[in-house]
A and B are shown apart, each in its own frame.
Chain A
Amino acid sequence: MTDSPVAPQMWEPAARVAGAAEQIAAPSLTYWQDVRQRLWRNRTAMAGLVFIILLVIAAIFGPMVSPHTYYDQDLKLANIPPAFQLYEVTDGSGETTRFFFNSGNLNIYEVTDDGRIAGLIRGKKDLIKKQTLFTFGDVEVTLHTPTQTLTRGDGVVLAPGQWQWNMSNVFGTDQLGRDVLARQLYGARISLTVAFVATLVNFFIGVFYGGISGYLGGRIDTLMMRIVEVIATIPLTLYVILIMVVFNSGFFSVIIAIGSVYWVDMARIVRGQILTLKQQDYVAAARTMGASTGRILTRHLLPNSIGPILVALTMLIPSAIFIESFMSFIGLGVTPPEASWGTLTSEAVETLRAYPYQMFFPAAAISLTMFAFNFLGDGLRDALDPRLRT
């Protein structure tokens, strides 16, 4: 080894920063800071959260500001699409009428200049010739039903013009002429309320049951968990259906049915958490200092179990939404004229052939909401998982 010369001052003792040796390079974060940071960085989870917040705001305030109600029917304006192609006819006096043709029900509706629906234009039906005659001032327009073509009196075939968004009913109307947007917002209200309340009920039952079982332990715990095991093997959706049959359809029945059935997972999680935490020293410490059972449960055990519970809750909400819509879909959910996403979807299915687009809004709403909650739940679970801490 050749010894390269070293400057003499380099042999001086190194300048010591107090505590430098103890310093750890990465800033240390508390568990919850770490969780928040990781959740914050998870883009899909944040997108889900933002969507849910917007949805809740829309569900609360939407129906208040909407000019329509979810129950007002107008059969003359049934099944109006959210967007349509305009036709224009100018009569002898130079007056132009803008209208659109609804191919689903073969009606013609007048449209104002700003895109609002002015009303149904009545024509004379001729069932033998399979055509309908409409009169605009001195101009006559014939609708030939089988080909769905509009012909002016002078033989010129009318061509559809530009697309126009429906400004009176932004999402169109349903088969009873109710505003789809208003029903959609109201449906969001019902679906979310059912989901949140039912989840909350499940949460309380689950925490209560699991908490008692885990805290008491021993034979009571074994018995309670056997019961849970039996309940867990029962197909729960069937029981929601049976309970709905007993209580009859309706908003509160749905909440009772869903709320009383899905607490099993929650109970298991809470019990498992409590069993592990029971062995922790700080619980023993609290105990020796004379804290009561209730105090230990609420002050020490639950705050520490909150992570997995939170994940279970975020996952339970979309299931509740789904079950509610499922019930409504098979005719056991909320009763008309009330609307939920499930009833809206099943109503749209009835008109699927003629108005397929009516399916779009309820299907999109429920799917996006499910996405949002799933993403948020996945993100939460990842963020809470200590194994992923680096």
Chain B
Amino acid sequence: MTGYVMQRLVLMLVTLLAIITLTFFLMHAVPGGPFVSDKMMAPEIQAAINAKYHLDDPVWLQYLNYLKGIASFDLGPSFKYAGMSVNEIIAEGLPTTLKVGVLALICVVSLGVPLGIVAALNRNRWPDTLVMVVATIGVAVPSYVIATVALYLFALRLGWVPTFGLDDWRGYFLPVFALSGFWISFIARLARSSLLETLQQDYMITAKAKGLKPGQILFKHGLRNSLIPVVTVLGPVVANLITGSFVIEQIFALPGIGRHFVLSITNRDYTAIMGITIFYAAVLMVMIFIVDMLYLVLDPRIKYREAR
């Protein structure tokens, strides 16, 4: 048990280190420097900036310094916004991104799973067909298309919700919907096929032969086992909600981290790109770790398998 947890923790830290390293060297592989695109600077100013940001140190030293910074949760200064640190940029955008992201995640789980169950239990009848048609649309239509079409329809045409911002509670509807649409559909499909497969298992017949009530059979024997694959994809779900937020925050003009990230890309603000990427990766790693632990609770076979 503890062995498994430790193993996961170590893997998580290794992955995080790999991400930091990869990100750092990728950003330092950009031809020229971070200030190249600016208008011609006096050499002395250039030198002053380089000294200030330690840009004239050898790369490995910069890398070590950067690692040291991350160890103390300091992602360094922004190159584009004088006097603003990457930490501050993240802190500024975090509440918005978190609110929308968590709501979306809640929607994914609380809508996707039940829809999949309903579909599986009504296999080849109308609720199944309905869920599958909607879910197929949800999986195939890109989130930014859903977002813009919804924006046009509900905000511009019908005026039910504001077109941008989160000042009004109704403002959450469209971003959350657009962000979670794909994954609600994906989880619904996954939960459906997983439950259908579980229902085929021999132990479901055993449960029936034991005289258990249908509700007991479904919830105790069916759902628990069929939810394992669903839990497995929760890691990727979070990764995708993160990347999804780039376009969603842009379309709905939400001041979140995703918007800052896209802005720092267009501004070529390399430290910000680097810092936000690493921040995202860290969030994701923590999420994957939580999923692993959930998995451990749901599937006792894991302990056994990993212990060998």
Contacts and interface: CB of A to CB of B under 8 A. Distances in A.
Interface string A210-239: 000000000000000000011001110111
Contact of B30 (A245, A349, A367): A245
Given A326-B142, A329-B247, A371-B140, A359 B152 contact: yes
A332 interface: yes
Contact of A230 (B18, B145, B242, B280): B18
30 contacts: A233-B15, A233-B284, A233-B288, A234-B15, A234-B281, A235-B239, A235-B242, A235-B280, A235-B284, A237-B240, A238-B280, A241-B265, A243-B26, A245-B270, A246-B26, A318-B140, A322-B142, A325-B142, A326-B144, A326-B243, A326-B247, A329-B144, A329-B247, A330-B247, A330-B262, A331-B262, A346-B144, A352-B152, A363-B145, A367-B140
- Please name the 5 residue pairs, one residue from A and one from B, whose CB atoms are nearest each other, closest first: A370-B140, A237-B243, A235-B239, A371-B140, A363-B145
Given A235-B281, A346-B144, 18 more contacts: A230-B14, A233-B235, A233-B285, A235-B242, A237-B239, A238-B243, A242-B23, A245-B265, A329-B247, A330-B262, A345-B145, A349-B144, A356-B152, A356-B156, A359-B152, A367-B140, A367-B141, A374-B140
A226 B142 CA distance: 32
Summarize A's interface: helix, strand, loop or mixed. helix
Given A245-B30, A332-B265, A234 B141 contact: no
Q: Give the residue among A237, A330, A371 with the most B Cβ atoms within 10 A.
A: A330
Interface string B242-280: 110011001100000000001001101010010001001
A371 to B, nearest CB: 4
Contact of A242 (B15, B151, B152, B273): B273
Interface of A: 229-230, 233-235, 237-239, 241-243, 245-246, 318, 322, 325-326, 329-332, 345-346, 348-349, 352-353, 356, 359, 363, 366-367, 370-371, 374
Contacts of A318: 140
B273 A245 contact: yes
B19 interface: yes
Contacts of B243: 235, 237-238, 326
Contacts of B30: 245-246
B251 A349 contact: yes
B27 interface: yes
Contacts of B270: 245
B96 interface: no
B142 A242 contact: no
A371 B133 CA distance: 11
B148 interface: yes
Contacts of A349: 144, 148, 251
B139 interface: yes
